[in-house]
Amino acid sequence: MAVTNFIPQVWEAKLLQNFHKASICELITTPPTEIKGNTITFNKVGTVAVKDYAGTVTYDGLSTPKVDLNMDQKKYFAFQVDDVDKIQAAGDLIDSHTAEAGATLQEEVDKYCLGLYTGAHADNIIGTDAAPIALDKLNTYDKIVDLGTKLNKKKVPKTDRFVVINSDVLGLLSKDDRFTRQPVVLENGIVEGQKINGMQVVVSEELSVVSGKVKIMALHKSAIGHGEQLNETEAIRLQATFADAVRGLMVFGCKVLRPEAMAVLTATVS
């Protein structure tokens, strides 16, 4: 990769960074305790029976159902830097483009994770592709409340709940007096101080939009399991050219662990 804007007379090694958002996948999902290989196993707590006491006690065996998560998604980046460019850029070129690659990888992870809306429990669905809910400034807040009610009916814990929206939906909420008129979105996507029906509001532009229909996800942290590894990031010397190269490989995977802990609203934004 030769630097396209290289000027022999003057080189200003300050590169303008592209705009990216911080990843939210790690915020809203359950990570594994340990990663070994590309398959991660999550164990669920088995059901414990409660019985009437009539003078004797019988003991049940415990089961721990498992869910395997296969980190089968693979993404990589690779670029080369000619010796002259590397010297002129004084290292900023490599560092900045490696950071750019890392941010882009995280956006790919978020997009994959938020695409798991199809795993929600059947009766936790509001609206469909054939009959989406038309959102406007009057009903958006209420429909998100309904998502939280779906989780309540499944006895999902009140803590660690999230609802993921995009900027269009945030704009509608901002016009409702029950929501702040000037929401502050933190770097990790959290809308500061804003919860709706016990769910922390998170904004992501990677939220799935299918044929103009947005998939708003409400979930408990335990609903989705997530694992990722940046397997290799290395600099190598290329043969047959005076250049170095930087490359990196990430493997990751996400899977619905508890469909009852996820609710989805399919909607159009007016």
pLDDT in tens, 17-52: 666 667 899 899 998 877 878 888 888 888 888 989
- Considering the entire predicted model, what is its pTM? 0.83
Q: Quick check: is 12 in a domain?
A: no
The 10s digit of each residue's pLDDT in 202-230 is 999 999 998 999 999 999 999 999 998 87
Q: Band of the pLDDT at 144, cuts 50, 70, 90?
A: very high
Q: Band of the pLDDT at 258, cuts 50, 70, 90?
A: very high
Q: Quick check: is 226 in a domain?
A: yes
What is the model's pLDDT at position 19? 62
**Quick one: CA dihedral 261, 217, 162, 24, positive or negative?**
positive
Q: Quick check: is 78 in a domain?
A: yes
Number of domains composing the chain: 1
d(CA 160, CA 223): 10
Instruction: Kindly tell me if the per-residue pLDDT of 116 is higher than 70.
Output: yes
Instruction: Kindly tell me if the per-residue pLDDT of 97 is higher than 80.
Output: no
What is the model's pLDDT at position 8? 45
Place of tokens 């508890």: 258
Instruction: Kindly tell me if the per-residue pLDDT of 112 is higher than 90.
Output: yes
Instruction: Kindly tell me if the per-residue pLDDT of 67 is higher than 60.
Output: yes
44-71 per-residue burial string, b: 16 or more CB within 10 A, e: under 16 = eeeeeeeeeeeeeeeeeeeeeeeeebeb
Q: Quick check: is 16 in a domain?
A: no
Q: Which domain holds residue 230?
A: 28-35+71-270
pLDDT: is 261 or 232 the higher one? 261
Give me the long-range contacts of 111-116 (CB less than 8 A, separation at least 24): 111/206, 111/208, 112/73, 112/252, 112/254, 113/25, 113/28, 113/29, 113/224, 113/226, 113/254, 114/25, 114/164, 114/204, 114/206, 114/207, 114/208, 114/215, 114/217, 115/208, 116/224, 116/254, 116/255, 116/256
What is the model's pLDDT at position 15? 53
Is the Cβ–Cβ distance between 231 and 198 less than 8 Å? no
What is the model's pLDDT at position 189? 87
Q: Quick check: is 52 in a domain?
A: no
207-220 per-residue burial string, b: 16 or more CB within 10 A, e: under 16 = bbeeeebbbbbbbb
Q: How far apart are the first and last CA of the chain?
A: 44
What is the model's pLDDT at position 6? 46
What is the model's pLDDT at position 148? 96
Q: Quick check: is 180 in a domain?
A: yes
Q: Quick check: is 107 in a domain?
A: yes
Residues 187-215, mean pLDDT to the nearest whole number: 92
Q: Quick check: is 208 in a domain?
A: yes
Give the range with max mean pLDDT: 147-151, 180-184, 189-193, 208-212.
147-151
